[in-house]
Amino acid sequence: MSSQITLLFHKPYGVLSQFTAEPGSAWDILASWIKQPDVYAAGRLDADSEGLLLLTGNGALQQRLTDPRWGHWRRYQVQVEGQISAEALEALNGGLVIQGQRTLPARARPIAPPADLPERDPPIRHRLNVPTSWLELELREGRNRQVRRMSAAVGLPTLRLRRVAIDLMDGAPPLSLAGLQPGQWRQASGAEQERLAALLRQAPRHPSGGGL
């Protein structure tokens, strides 16, 4: 049954997290890539972001995955313009005021360029006199363009952004992008479906929190 199916999709750059085209939009949509009926995005990635997107036909699961009270950690790899300083990491980890609201504490650390990074079409812009760096950033909220706004707030404009994992519960392996090339998707494995089912039986981690 489609209501029991959960898909893991490696959303490419330039694709909206929806099946219906927007009038006048040049962005692609999920219908070009996923032919499985009656599944819907649980959460979103902006069109200019890449990476792991979950889709499900289970309305209760979709609500649980996007409700900020459950506070799932989401892991991002972020290419930024400039060099990452200790002060920038401290600010990201401690929380920033974005659009008048403080973000929840994050987990931020510098990383080497990902070895499995696919080519992007179009490629990012390069300025010869400005270096770029890579940052791993984990958030448990998903406000509008939050990663980009946070990196800009500490003087590190985002050039490329991809979500690589979603942590459903403490002590269990996350759902990840591993093994999926841009545009590829697969059904959740039996073990992953069990973790998703267990998620529906859990109490909220946080009484309240930032919106997704």
H or E segment to which residue 202 belongs:
none
Asked if residues 40 and 56 have their Cβ atoms less than 8 Å apart, the reply is: yes
Measured distance CA(116)–CA(212) in Å, rounded: 27
Q: How far apart are CA 179 and CA 153, in angstroms?
A: 33
Q: At what angle do helices 59-66 and 190-201 cross, to 10 degrees?
A: 70
Backbone angles phi, psi at 133, to 5 degrees: -140, 165
Mark out the alpha helices in 6-95 (DSSP H runs): 59-66, 86-94
- Secondary structure of residue 179 in the 3-state scheme: coil
Q: Is 46 a catalytic residue?
A: yes
Q: Could you tell me where the DSSP H helices lie in 3-58?
A: none
Residue from 28, 46, 48, 67 carrying the catalytic annotation: 46
By annotation, the residues acting in catalysis are 46
